[in-house]
């Protein structure tokens, strides 16, 4: 649907911007110009140094594929410290971590991966290398993706909880768009936020929507569980349905409106 609308409009100066917490590059694959997308948590197609030794972020080739073992759900290149694949590998895997975050507000901190230590209850696996430490045994990662600068291990450029090693996504284009949108609203023009499927567990997108509403924008909130906006009820249209159903309904309403407008003398 997004691709179809983009083909129909062909705006010389696009008057929209995508602000998303998704990391799956769905909007890019739908045909949206990457310059009009701000992926606040990064995306799975971009990689960075694990340390990081630099601020460089790079993309994998389009044809790159990880070889995943369907039984263990692990990449086939991964082995334990002895290079063996135990029978219990991938079962009852537990991740120890630090403080549990409150869900009302997004964290301002970033995760230090040194606190994550995978292990199994029966200890059938050797202790795995901690993400935040240098590999003690190169056999673990001898074929894994590596930093283009220091040749250390690479990691996806995706924000995790408390992640103090993530290289932040460039937000300059989004900030420029917001300034233009606010300026247009001061001139009496309308700005509408179409927010879909954004919950409360990580409410970053919902909070950002409210910032724009406070500046004069209207909000269409599509959410099966939390469609209401108690802070700005008069500026919010709440749709308690799936995103697809809502988009189809909105599209049909716009078509009817355009038809009536053209039919009027």
pLDDT, tens digit, 9 for 90 and up, residues 82-129: 333 333 333 333 333 333 334 444 445 444 433 333 434 443 333 333
On whether residue 136 sits in a domain, the answer given is no
Reading phi first (left if > 0) and then psi (alpha if -120 to 50, else beta), residue 202 is in beta
On whether residue 250 sits in a domain, the answer given is yes
User: Burial, 173: exposed, middle or buried (Cβ in 10 Å; 0-12, 13-18, 19+)?
Assistant: middle
Of 76 and 83, the structure prediction assigns the larger pLDDT to 76
* Most confident region among 48-62, 71-85, 126-140, 220-234 by mean pLDDT: 220-234
Nearest to 198 by CA among 8, 11, 20, 74: 20
On whether residue 178 sits in a domain, the answer given is yes
On whether residue 16 sits in a domain, the answer given is yes
Say if residue 158's pLDDT is above 90. yes
Say if residue 174's pLDDT is above 60. yes
Of 114 and 208, the structure prediction assigns the larger pLDDT to 208
Q: What is the DSSP string of 69-82?
A: ETTTTEETT---TT
Residue 54 is labelled as binding a ligand: yes
Confidence of residue 138 (pLDDT cuts 50, 70, 90): very low
Q: What pLDDT, on a 0 to 100 scale, did the predictor assign at position 5?
A: 63
Say if residue 222's pLDDT is above 90. yes
Nearest to 194 by CA among 14, 17, 27: 17
Say if residue 2's pLDDT is above 70. no
On whether residue 89 sits in a domain, the answer given is no
pTM, full prediction: 0.70
State CA 144 to chain mean position distance. Answer: 23
CB 163 within 8 A of CB 111: yes
Average pLDDT over residues 70-92: 49
On whether residue 142 sits in a domain, the answer given is no
Q: What pLDDT, on a 0 to 100 scale, did the predictor assign at position 72?
A: 81
On whether residue 198 sits in a domain, the answer given is yes
β-pairing, 154-158 vs 42-49, is antiparallel
Catalytic residue among 20, 41, 193, 212: 41
Average pLDDT over residues 208-228: 97
On whether residue 156 sits in a domain, the answer given is no
Determine whether 97 is an active site residue. Answer: no
User: Burial, 226: exposed, middle or buried (Cβ in 10 Å; 0-12, 13-18, 19+)?
Assistant: middle
Q: In the chain, how many domains are there? A: 1
Residue 212 belongs to domain spanning: 2-38+170-263
Residue 147 is labelled as binding a ligand: yes
Q: How far is CA 171 from CA 44, 105, 191, in A?
A: 17, 20, 20
Q: What pLDDT, on a 0 to 100 scale, did the predictor assign at position 77?
A: 54
Residue 150 is labelled as binding a ligand: yes
Residues 6 or more apart whose CB falls under 8 angstroms from that of 228 comprise 221, 236, 238
Residues 6 or more apart whose CB falls under 8 angstroms from that of 144 comprise 77, 78, 153, 154
Q: How far is CA 15 from CA 39, 63, 78, 172, in A?
A: 18, 33, 45, 16
């Amino acid at each position: 649907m997004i691709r179809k609308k983009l083909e129909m409009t062909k705006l010389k100066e696009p008057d929209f911007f995508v602000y998303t917490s998704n990391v799956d590059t769905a909007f890019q694959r739908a045909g949206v110009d990457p310059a009009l997308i701000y992926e606040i948590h990064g995306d799975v197609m971009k990689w960075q140094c694990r340390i990081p030794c630099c601020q460089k972020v790079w993309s994998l080739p389009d044809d790159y594929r990880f070889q995943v073992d369907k039984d263990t759900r692990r990449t086939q290149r991964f082995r334990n410290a002895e290079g063996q694949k135990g029978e219990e590998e991938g079962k009852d895997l537990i991740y120890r971590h630090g403080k549990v975050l409150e869900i009302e507000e997004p964290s301002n901190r970033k995760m230090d991966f040194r606190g994550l230590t995978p292990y199994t209850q029966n200890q059938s696996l050797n202790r795995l290398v901690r993400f935040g430490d240098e590999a003690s045994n190169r056999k673990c990662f001898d074929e894994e993706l590596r930093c283009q600068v220091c040749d250390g291990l690479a990691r996806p450029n995706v924000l995790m909880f408390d992640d103090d090693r993530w290289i932040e996504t460039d937000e300059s284009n989004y900030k420029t768009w917001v300034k233009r949108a606010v300026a247009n609203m001061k001139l009496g023009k309308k700005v509408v936020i179409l927010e879909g499927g954004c919950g409360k567990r990580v409410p970053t997108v919902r909070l950002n929507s409210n910032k724009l509403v406070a500046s004069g924008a209207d909000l269409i909130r599509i959410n099966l569980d939390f469609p209401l906006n108690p802070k700005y009820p008069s500026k919010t249209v709440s749709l308690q349905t799936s995103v697809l159903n809502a988009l189809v309904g909105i599209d049909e309403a716009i078509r009817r409106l355009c038809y009536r407008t053209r039919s009027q003398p």
